[in-house]
Amino acid sequence: MDVVGVSKRLSYVLRHRPDSVGIALDEAGWVDVDVLLAALAAHGTPLTRGDLDRVVAGNDKRRFAYDPGGTRIRASQGHSVPVALGYAAESPPAVLFHGTPVRHLPSILTEGLRPGRRHAVHLSPDEATARTVGERRGRAAVLRVDAAGLAATGAVFTRSANGVWLVDAVPPAFLAVL
């Protein structure tokens, strides 16, 4: 099995286009594993439960999670379909980071960070992770986010099951280019 290929397909289905295989996610992004496997098989990606387990466990960023009973699966973050992931609000560390292509900087420093088509702005716990995120699309800049300052204004931070910090927006006053 091509773990990376299957992971990419799962990201597409579970974050962005469940309809592409004829399934719907519940309001928190979950779908029954049996329903997912049947839908993938019907759309050219036959997988066993063991294959799925390997993708969930072996994924480099732990993008997917089973519910505690192991009967449902979801993406832990990154959705463009509307979802309420239900993570508890948490106090963030004083500083978080966001990597982005350099070409986005003028707009970000004017408007702040916006979620775009995803459900939240994604922030990284360390500079190296942020740089990797930014470099996905070209030469990267890394922004330092005054997370404590933003939290003090009432902004709600949550942390996904795979350690990505999520917030609705980051105004420019809380950003500095490293």
Binding to ligand HQG by residue 63, rule CB under 6 A? yes
Phi, psi of 101 (to 5 degrees): -60, 140
Phi, psi of 32 (to 5 degrees): -60, 135
Closest CB to ligand HQG among residues 21, 124: 124
DSSP state of 83: -
Binding to ligand HQG by residue 116, rule CB under 6 A? yes
Tell me, by CB under 6 A, how many residues bind ligand HQG: 17
3-class secondary structure, 17: coil
Closest to 31 measured CA to CA, from 67, 78, 58: 67
Looking at residue 34, its amino acid is D
Phi, psi of 127 (to 5 degrees): -65, -40
Show contacts with ligand HQG in window 90-109 (CB under 6 A).
100-101, 104, 107-108
In the complex, what is the shortest distance from the CB of residue 18 to ligand HQG, in angstroms, rounded to a whole number? 16
Binding to ligand HQG by residue 113, rule CB under 6 A? yes
Residues that bind ligand HQG in the complex, under the rule CB under 6 A: 11, 61, 63, 78, 100-101, 104, 107-108, 111, 113-114, 116, 118, 122, 133, 164
